[in-house]
C-alpha cells in the first residue's frame, strides 16, 4: 500500500502567505498595465448589451464595439465638462473662502482660550505646525500629480482601447478560459463566467443608477437648505459614495468645511445631518434594492477589501475592490477547498 505524505500545516500556511505576498508585489509593480485592463473589463461588461444589440441590427462586430465605446467616451466627456464647469466657480471663490476660514479659526482660538484656559499662543503654534505639515503634504501630492500626468493620460487613453478589444475578442477570451481547464470542467467554467458577468453587470449598472439617485437627493436637500455650491457638493458626494464608508465620511467633512466658510455653523450641522440621513437611506433601501447583486459580501470584508485595494492600487483599487471581491466569492463558492473562504466573505444569511 502506498501512503500519501501530506505536508504539515505550517508548510501549507507558509506557501499561502508567500503566494499572497508575491501576488501583492506583482499587482503593485504592474499597476500601470493591469489597472486599465481591469477598468476596461468592467466597462466592456457594462457596454456588452449595447454591442450585442447593435450586432443584432447587422452591425459588424468591430463597428458595434467602436460605436459602443465612442458613445461611452462622449458620455464621460460630457460628465467631466459638467464637473469642471461646477468646479470653476468654486475655484474662483477659493481665496475668499480661505480668508473666512482663517477668521473662523481665530474666533475658535479665542473661544477655546476663554472656555478651557488654553494659551492662544500654544494653539496658534499647534495650528501653524499642522498647517506646515499639510502644506508639505499638499506640495508633495502636487509634485507627484504633475510628475504622473503622462501616466494618467496613458491610463485614460488605454481604457477605451482595452474596452474595445475586450468587446471584440470576447468569444476568443471565453474559449481561452475554457481550454485552460480539463474538458470535464468546461460546463462549470462556462457557468462561472456567465455568473460573473451577471454579477459585475448588475453591480456596475446598479451602481450608476444609485449614483444618479444619490446625486439628485444630495443636490435637492442642499438646495432646500440653501447651501452654496449645492450642485458641486451633491455631485461630489454621489461619486465618493462609490467608496464604501470612507466616501460618506469624506463627503460630510468636505461639506462641513465648505458650509462653515460660506454659511453658519448651524447650517453646516444641518447639511452634515442631511447627508448622513441620505447615506442611511442609501445603505438600507437603495443599495439592497438597486445594486442588489446575487453575491452578498458582508460589511467587514467590504471595508477590508477597500483598504487593501487602496494600499495596492490607490484610488483605482478602492473602486475596483467591490467587483473584484464579488468575482473572488463566485470562484471560492465553486471550488470545494475554497468554500470556507466564500462562506467567510458572505453575509451569513
Q: What is the tens place of the pLDDT at every residue in 270-317? A: 998 998 998 888 877 777 666 655 556 777 787 788 888 888 887 778
Q: Over pLDDT 70: what percentage of the chain?
A: 76
Q: Exposure of 323 by Cβ count < 10 A (0-12 exposed, 13-18 middle, 19+ buried)?
A: buried
Cα dist from 335 to 178, 247, 323, 327, whole Å: 16, 34, 19, 13
Higher pLDDT, 326 or 56: 56
| Cβ-based neighbour number of residue 97 at 10 Å | 17
Average pLDDT of the residues in 219-246? 84
| Cβ-based neighbour number of residue 130 at 10 Å | 10
Q: Which three cell numbers stand for residue 278?
A: 441620505
Q: Which residues contact 338 (CB under 8 A, 6 or more apart)?
A: 331, 332
Q: Over pLDDT 90: what percentage of the chain?
A: 9
Angle between helices 31-56 and 299-313 (to 10 degrees): 110
Is residue 331 within 8 Å of 53, Cβ to Cβ?
no
Q: Is 264 left (phi over 0), alpha (psi -120 to 50) or beta?
A: beta
Angle between helices 149-168 and 61-116 (to 10 degrees): 140
Dist CA 195 CA 33 (whole Å)? 26
End-to-end CA distance of the chain, in Å? Answer: 45
Write down the domain spans for the chain.
32-168
Does position 87 have pLDDT exceeding 70, yes or no? yes
pTM greater than the 0.95 cutoff:
no
pLDDT tens digits, residue range 93-151? Answer: 667 666 666 666 666 676 666 666 666 666 566 655 655 554 444 445 444 444 444 45
What confidence score (pLDDT) does residue 321 get? 82
Amino acid at each position: 500500500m502506498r501512503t500519501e505524505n501530506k505536508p504539515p500545516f505550517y508548510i501549507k500556511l507558509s506557501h499561502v502567505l508567500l503566494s499572497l505576498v508575491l501576488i501583492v508585489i506583482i499587482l503593485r509593480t504592474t499597476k500601470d498595465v493591469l489597472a486599465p485592463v481591469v477598468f476596461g473589463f468592467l466597462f466592456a461588461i457594462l457596454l456588452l448589451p449595447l454591442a450585442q444589440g447593435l450586432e443584432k441590427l447587422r452591425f459588424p462586430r468591430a463597428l458595434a464595439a467602436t460605436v459602443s465605446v465612442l458613445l461611452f467616451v462622449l458620455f464621460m466627456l460630457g460628465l467631466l465638462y459638467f464637473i469642471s464647469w461646477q468646479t470653476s466657480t468654486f475655484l474662483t471663490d477659493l481665496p475668499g473662502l480661505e480668508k473666512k476660514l482663517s477668521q473662523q479659526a481665530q474666533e475658535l482660538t479665542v473661544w477655546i482660550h476663554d472656555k478651557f484656559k488654553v494659551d492662544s499662543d500654544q494653539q496658534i503654534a499647534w495650528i501653524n505646525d499642522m498647517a506646515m505639515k499639510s502644506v508639505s503634504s499638499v506640495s508633495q501630492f502636487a509634485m507627484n500629480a504633475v510628475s504622473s500626468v503622462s501616466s494618467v493620460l496613458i491610463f485614460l487613453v488605454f481604457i477605451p482601447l482595452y474596452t474595445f478589444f475586450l468587446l471584440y475578442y470576447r468569444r476568443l477570451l471565453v474559449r481561452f478560459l475554457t481550454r485552460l481547464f480539463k474538458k470535464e470542467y468546461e460546463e462549470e467554467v462556462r457557468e462561472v463566467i456567465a455568473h460573473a458577468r451577471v454579477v459585475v453587470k448588475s453591480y456596475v449598472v446598479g451602481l450608476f443608477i444609485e449614483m444618479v439617485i444619490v446625486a439628485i437627493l444630495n443636490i435637492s436637500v442642499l438646495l432646500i437648505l440653501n447651501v452654496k455650491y449645492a450642485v458641486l457638493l451633491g455631485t461630489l458626494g454621489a461619486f465618493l459614495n462609490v467608496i464604501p464608508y470612507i466616501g460618506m465620511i469624506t463627503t460630510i467633512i468636505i461639506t462641513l468645511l465648505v458650509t462653515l466658510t460660506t454659511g453658519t455653523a448651524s447650517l453646516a450641522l444641518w447639511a452634515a445631518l442631511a447627508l448622513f440621513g441620505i447615506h442611511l437611506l442609501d445603505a438600507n433601501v437603495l443599495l439592497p434594492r438597486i445594486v442588489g447583486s446575487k453575491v452578498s459580501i458582508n460589511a467587514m470584508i467590504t471595508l477590508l477589501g477597500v483598504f487593501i485595494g487602496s494600499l495596492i492600487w490607490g484610488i483605482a483599487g478602492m473602486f475596483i475592490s467591490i467587483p473584484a471581491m464579488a468575482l473572488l466569492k463566485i470562484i471560492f463558492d465553486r471550488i470545494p477547498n475554497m468554500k470556507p473562504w466564500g462562506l467567510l466573505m458572505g453575509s451569513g444569511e
